[in-house]
Amino acid sequence: MIYVENLSKEFCIYKRQPGILGSLKGIFKRDIEIKKAIENISFNINKGEMVGYIGANGAGKSTTIKIMTGILTPTSGKCQVNGITPYENRTANAQHIGVVFGQRTQLWWDLPLSETFTILKKIYNIPEDQYNTRMEFLSEVLDLDSFIKYPVRTLSLGQRMRADLASALIHNPKVLFLDEPTIGLDIVVKEKIRKAIKFINQEYETTIILTTHDLQDIEELCDRIIIIDSGKKVYDGNIKNIKKDYGYITTIEATFSNKNDLSLSNLSFGFKLDSQDLNLNIEDNKIIIRFNNKKVAVSQIIACLINEVQIKDLHIYEMGIEDIIKNMYKAGELNA
Ligand SMILES: Nc1ncnc2c1ncn2[C@@H]1O[C@H](COP(=O)(O)OP(=O)(O)OP(=O)(O)O)[C@@H](O)[C@H]1O
Ligand SMILES: [Mg+2]
């Protein structure tokens, strides 16, 4: 369904010296810097697959998506989506793909959402009966009814993201590109969006490529991940144990009521771990505990804390994708 071979994209960045003199100099001679956003990326994705395309900030994820959706032309290499070269035939490509860029909406800001769908119906030339069935399906899966009459600019972020997803799916595309579809959303809306994505993939065998910084998205949705780092593909495979094997550091941040309530010396956990598996820090009335969740459970740590002090607030953080990638490098999993 998606075929990418030795894909590279370079951007020319024109550097400008600071100040007026710099601007004047720039008229005659401009310093150019070549930025390699992606380098020799290759992969194939079959019909019905849901693949997580992950990497740190600036790794080249959006650049790859933009090439596959026809927004950018690569500097070299090949790319075909459903037999079409996207950047050579953007209109034909647009007929069978859907795209959501979580960072910005593609909806008409001032129009009621329902009118956006009517316009898309005309753009994609969707027959009336197909459109009605599709709208019914999307309204149900994405729960659109309560805000479909409102102008897009009045929607909350979670509503807008669901609306963006619906507009990307209105023509029942064979391939769906999702670039950070859950960014900035609360846990409840994230879960709703994930459920919808999963359902669409299963029901229609839609091929889905998803970029995200949220490990939960990946774990719940994808069997396969492709990791890119500084523009290069470093991993392509199964993710079954990625969190267990490489995401084992959990951080707990607890704020306690009384500043003098706790000192590192009198905190007793009742178990001994070396410093790489258990690390404590106290700042003002906050304690930050980083620990290896393979060696000790979150509940054990919390139980010990509750024993010692009165807790006002508590947050638990799992490891992010960036740190997991670092751990995978250390373990020799990635071909740097
Ligand atoms: N239009 C552009 N002009 C110049 N450089 C660009 C352009 N678009 C992207 N880049 C550069 O290419 C690299 C890859 O960018 P890209 O947006 O693909 O990263 P990303 O993996 O999507 O990151 P993020 O997780 O932050 O969204 C970055 O170094 C970025 O600065
Ligand atoms: Mg991006």
Residues 235, 262, single domain; the answer is no
Residue 259's pLDDT is 65
Q: Using only the alpha carbons of the chain, give its radius of gyration.
A: 24
Would strands 175-179 and 97-101 be described as parallel, antiparallel, or unpaired? parallel
What's the CA gap between 82 and 31, in Å, rounded?
40
pLDDT grade for 14, boundaries at 50, 70 and 90 = confident
Judging by beta carbons within 10 Å of its beta carbon (0-12, 13-18, 19+), is residue 336 exposed, middle or buried? exposed
Residues 55, 91, single domain; the answer is yes
pLDDT, one tens digit per residue, over 26-61 is 676 777 888 999 999 999 999 999 999 999 899 999
- Whats the size of the chain, residue-wise? 336
pLDDT grade for 261, boundaries at 50, 70 and 90 = low
What's the CA gap between 82 and 79, in Å, rounded?
10
Kind and range of the H or E run holding 67: helix 61-68
- pLDDT higher than 90, residue 265: no
Query: pTM of the full predicted structure?
Result: 0.84
Ligand 1 contact, 173 CB (< 6 A): no
Number of structural domains the chain divides into: 2
Q: Angle 128-142/157-169 helices, nearest 10 degrees?
A: 150
Ligand 1, atom 10: nearest CA belongs to which residue? 37
Residues 312, 261, single domain; the answer is yes
Inter-residue contact 39 to 231 (CB < 8 Å):
yes
Inter-residue contact 17 to 26 (CB < 8 Å):
yes
- pLDDT higher than 70, residue 262: no
Ligand 1 contact, 215 CB (< 6 A): no
Ligand nearest to the CA of 38: 1
Residues 63, 101, single domain; the answer is yes
Residues 207, 288, single domain; the answer is no
Residues 167, 61, single domain; the answer is yes
Q: What is the CATH number of the domain that holds 129?
A: 3.40.50.300
110 CB neighbour count, 10 Å cutoff = 10
- Token output for 101: 């860029």
Ligand 1 contact, 37 CB (< 6 A): yes
Residues 141, 282, single domain; the answer is no
Share of the chain above pLDDT 70, in %: 94
Ligand 1 contact, 232 CB (< 6 A): no
